[in-house]
Amino acid sequence: MNKKQKTINEKESKHEVTSLGEFSESAYLNYSMYVILDRALPSITDGLKPVQRRIIYAMDQLGLTSQSKFKKSARTIGDVLGKYHPHGDSACYEAMVMLAQGFSYNYPLVEGQGNWGTQDDPKSFAAMRYTESRLTKYSDLFLSDIEKNTVSWSKNFDGTLLEPKHLPSKIPNILINGSSGIAVGMSTDIPSHNIGEIIDATTHLIDKPKSSISDLLKIIKGPDFPTEGEIISKESDLNGIYNFGTGNIKLRATYFVEGKNIVIKSIPYQSHTTKIIEQIQDQIANKKIIFIDNISDDSDQEHPVRIIIRIKGRSHSVDDIMSHLFFSTDLEKNLRVNLNIIGTDNKPSVKNIREILTEWVKFRLHSVKNKLQWELDKIQERIHILEAYVKVYKYLDKIIKLIRTEDNPKKKIISLCKLTEKQYEAIINMRIRSLAKLQEESVLNELKKLKNEEKSITLLLSSSNRLKTYLKKELNEIKKDFGRSRKTSINNQDTHKSNEIKVSVSISDLTVIISKNGWIKFHKGHNVDITKLDFKTGDSYYQHLHIKSNNTLAFFDQHGMIYNMASDNYQVSRGQGEPLSKYFKLQDGTQMIGMVNISEKLSVLNCSSMGYGFICVHDEMFVKNKKGKKLINVKKSNAIKPINVDLDNDKYYVIITSENYMLIEKLSEIPIMPRGKGVKLINIPKTSDETIVYIGVLRQDQVLEFSYTSRKSRVMDHAVLQNYIMKRTRRGKKIEKKFLLEKGKTTYNIK
């Protein structure tokens, strides 16, 4: 028995005992850091994610330079996976495809032969066994000095090979090509820019390190996308993005008039012609517009985007028609910007434009210094050997005599010529033909040349100003080779108002009302007295919206599902309306928690009763089937009423729990996601039965009103609200007692 007990104890001693909570927290932290640092976010040094860096490096090692022949893409992917990137082949190949798409990157790093996708369908590329690839000339800027001690190295996943931690990029690629990715609890969306503007701003910062962001923005006009388009954001909005590292860019298509046709010649970045044409055709079919006779896609290789819109009649101007199409289709888009980058300290953070360029210049100066020091060391090594050769020619006859007569001539030759061990080995290994007179002249010429180079590099290394001049010259040469005019024009005029619908057919005002039990009714006009509405017994008012008769509505249920209702279903109601189950295929027990007008092109803040949430842009809220689609992963909780968010103006969100804890945080801290669980908007203890009772969005000039059933409402002003601003992962702060007059009966309003 004792022997058995001893065996059990020995086995137990080999295991570490820890609580499930501690283990889960540690494991998830390790996973999240791995995703952030090794998968999703780019480095400020070369602007690449790890998989992209590994692809470029592997292709270089395979000899697939811009001057080489093309090789099968499968050969490259096999090398990347087998040596550096132990992940799925399809994801790795897709990363390689993006590096080759001229409509995804301003300057592709991979040149492809075969089908690599189109702007209209980027994922229509052929399988890797069919395509061939090699590096582009632009990629030379990342690899040309990699062997000159310019980068740090680390072991690969199995410890058998070394791979570069970053590439010695000669340009701030992070801004030139941009990047996007979703990590754990954070994401990045960096737009591409014009290489000439970025280089000019960088050289300006090298000359004047104390330059302000406004100084740099006199040079950098704004993003420059590979698919052209026109930026219509206000100058103040663009300045805000570059000052704080986050914001939104409004981008729209460009067009010209050709006879009676409107020709769309470019569309917003990451928009697709097929979807735009479908959006317009749907409006024609539903008779929302009658001023368009036909629409066709005449895009080809010469014209990647050429959408022909044939106008019918003369009742509407081209400006009015385009104003309507900008409003109702993807001919205009909001692009999120989040300059979240892994810095040289290996930590992710959101940086402004000056911080990005300053940090990159520091990195590049360090790389240049290491490269020059490596070259100097090699030159000095060669000079050391050449000086030995010169001494050989001077004492040639004596050296030959010593070699022929002495058993061990080493010491006497070293003494005679004053040589080092290394020099002695070099002259002993000289070939006889190297002793010719012509060879002596060649050695002397090479020695003279190398000493001049040694002097030049030594001067460079001794002066930080000379190093900066060297870097500026290098950047200007790159600008000369790769610079080009802007593709994306910028219109800072007050054009955002043209997003309003100016043309349509039989557009009327409607008020839509839903009840708590899920019944819907429509009333003409916006002057509807909600207090006088009639509902079924046991039912009551829940929510209403003022809409136009051609708008599209989105409905949300407690299970996290979203449904759409098109305008052809809008009929002015008689009596108590109709159940929403008539329009949608709903699960048993489904309860509608809210509705929004998608046509307003506002984003929506979604939240679960457990306090997790995210922002969803209007593009992601379109649903084709009556079954709806899953939007929010609520698990064991329920979704709560969604909130419209104006990303341009709304600055904060307010969240309140059933235990009267309140927290206010910046909206920019909430990720934009197409669907999912989201992130914590407030920290509710796991052991608590607490739920979310209110969430709203707050502008800087607004206050929070507490309304009661039998008491006068009270207002929490700016000074008090400031006390509740804190990080979203915090518990929040208990609401002051003077606002808690009716438990469970208080309503909250942003004013």
Catalytic residue positions, numbered: 130
How far apart CA 79 and CA 158 sit, in angstroms, is: 14
| Per-residue exposure over 357-373, b if at least 16 CB sit within 10 Å of its own CB, e if not | bbbbbebbbebbbbbbe
CA gap 486, 195 in Å, rounded: 9
Amino acid at 151: V
* Helix H or strand E segment including 481: helix 464-482
DSSP string, 375-401: HHHHHHHHHHHHHHHHHHHHTHHHHHH
Distance in angstroms (rounded) separating the CA atoms of residues 453 and 380: 10
Inter-CA distances, 475 with 170, 173, 358, Å: 7, 12, 15
The 10 Å CB-count burial string (b at 16+, else e) for 494-527 is ebeebbebebbeeeeebbbbbbeebbbbbbeeee
Q: Which residue has the tokens 């976010």?
A: 41
Q: Where are the beta strands (DSSP E) in 566-720?
A: 578-579, 592-597, 603-607, 612-616, 629-630, 643-645, 652-657, 661-666, 679-680, 692-698, 704-707, 714-716
Q: Which two tokens stand for residue 633?
A: 């992963």
Q: State phi, psi for 545 to the nearest 5 degrees.
A: -135, 145
Contact 150, 168 (CB under 8 A): yes
What is the CA angle 194-108-363, rounded to 5? 65
Tokens 């090479």 sit on residue: 446
Pairing mode, strands 110-113 and 340-342: unpaired
Contacts of 437 (CB under 8 A, 6+ apart): none
Tokens linked to 428: 């002993």
Distance CA 470, CA 274 (A): 49
Contacts of 404 (CB under 8 A, 6+ apart): none
Torsion (CA) 477, 482, 488, 493 in degrees, nearest 10: 10
